[in-house]
Structures are given as structure tokens and as C-alpha cells.
Amino acid sequence: MATHATNIAAIRTPFAGVGAAILNWMTAVGEARSRHGQIAALEAKTDDELAAMGIRRDMIAHHVFRDLYYV
């Protein structure tokens, strides 16, 4: 019976750097597109201010994400 061992860490190292760069880029894009700031700004408004905009408090998230889905 023969045993064979292969060190593949050296093969994956160049690809790991590329994968990390892609992951970092995707994270940056996701954070840039975050709508958390818009939700926080709307939640800080009074009910009267929201009513003037035609938004109910329970519909803030729906309003912010309205371009991503249709209900």
C-alpha cells in the first residue's frame, strides 16, 4: 500500500488573494448601497412630517426599498 501526500496550499495562495480582493470589493459596494441612513433619517421624523410625505411609520422600510420589489 502506498501513501501519497500533496501540498496544495502553494497552489491556492494566488487564488486566495484574488478571492479576498473580490470579497473586499463586494463588501465595499454593499456598504455603499446601504439604505440604513435613509431609514434612520425617516425614523427620526415626526409622524406629522411623515404624513406630509405620504408615508406611515410602519411603511418606512417599504418606502425605502420600493424600487427593489413590488408588492
14-34: per-residue pLDDT in tens?
Answer: 677 888 888 888 887 887 678
Mean pLDDT of the chain: 82
Whether the model pTM is above 0.75: no
Residue 8 has a pLDDT of: 58
CA distance 43 to 30: 22
Amino acid at 49: E
Residue 11 has a pLDDT of: 55
CA distance 57 to 42: 8
Residue 62 has a pLDDT of: 92
CA neighbor of 58 nearest in space, from 68, 49, 47: 47
CA separation (Å) from 62 to 3, 33, 38, 50?
A: 60, 16, 12, 13
